């Protein structure tokens, strides 16, 4: 596994606070306003990673169909998952069902946030690390994800799922280094993202 691991710090949390200050909660989100800091933190991690790769992107979070776009016009959505164990390849990345048909990005980039077991998921400052676990095209996600209803027991952690969602195994998406090689590297876009 070659996930990108980021140690979280106070600067990350200050940016989250600023961005979430007047942000409304998504009506159908099971976490309500608590979802905003988690999602924003994942987005900040991806923004920093892309900037570190000198990859230009446009913030389009004012749209509801995606979060960002690359200069070639491809759109992408960052999906962030809360975890109490570091991600493993048999864990899943998730897209909530309530907005799945509405959001139409070309690509997904998946992030896992790690917090100590027993710590409150209500406080974003409990997260200690972030992992960029991979990416895939929307077409790949549609072909390989599995719909799970609220209450279904997730086999990777033995916990009931809290909302209807689509899950894809982490070993079925492109690792970050593959994303960079096959999508972001110069002259690689012609063939599209390979997962």
Per-residue pLDDT of the chain (195 residues; tens, 9 = 90+): 699 999 999 999 999 999 988 765 554 444 554 558 999 999 999 999 999 999 999 999 988 899 999 988 999 999 999 999 999 999 999 999 988 888 899 999 999 999 999 998 889 999 999 999 999 999 999 999 999 998 898 777 777 888 899 999 999 999 999 999 888 775 444 434 444
Domain CATH code at residue 65 = 3.40.210
C-alpha to C-alpha distance for 74 and 18, rounded to whole angstroms: 27
The pLDDT of residue 26 is 55
C-beta neighbour count of 106 within 10 angstroms: 18
Q: Strand 57-59's sheet: what is its strand order?
A: 4-7, 129-137, 107-114, 75-83, 68-70, 57-59
User: Can you give the residue range of the structural domain that contains 185?
Assistant: 4-191
**What total of structural domains would you count in the chain?**
1
Q: Are 130 and 112 in contact (CB under 8 A)?
A: yes
The pLDDT of residue 138 is 94
The pLDDT of residue 25 is 55
Q: Are 194 and 180 in contact (CB under 8 A)?
A: no
The pLDDT of residue 195 is 43
Q: Strand 165-169's sheet: what is its strand order?
A: 92-96, 165-169, 146-148
């Amino acid at each position: 596994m070659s996930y990108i691991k980021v140690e979280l710090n106070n600067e990350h949390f200050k940016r989250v606070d600023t961005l979430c200050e007047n942000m409304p909660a998504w009506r159908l989100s099971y976490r309500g306003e608590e979802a905003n800091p988690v999602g924003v933190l994942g987005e900040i991690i991806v923004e920093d990673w892309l900037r570190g790769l000198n990859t230009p992107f446009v913030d389009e979070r004012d749209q509801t169909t995606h979060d960002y776009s690359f200069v070639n016009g491809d759109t992408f959505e960052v999906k962030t998952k809360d975890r109490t164990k570091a991600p493993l390849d048999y864990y899943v990345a998730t897209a909530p069902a309530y907005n799945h048909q509405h959001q139409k990005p070309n690509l997904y980039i998946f992030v896992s946030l790690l917090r100590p077991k027993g710590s409150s998921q209500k406080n974003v400052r409990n997260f200690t690390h972030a992992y960029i676990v991979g990416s895939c095209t929307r077409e790949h996600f549609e072909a390989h994800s599995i719909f799970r209803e609220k209450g279904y027991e997730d086999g990777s952690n033995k916990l009931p799922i809290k909302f209807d969602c689509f899950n894809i195994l982490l070993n079925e998406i492109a690792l970050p280094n593959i994303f960079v090689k096959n999508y972001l590297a110069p002259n690689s876009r012609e063939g599209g993202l390979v997962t």
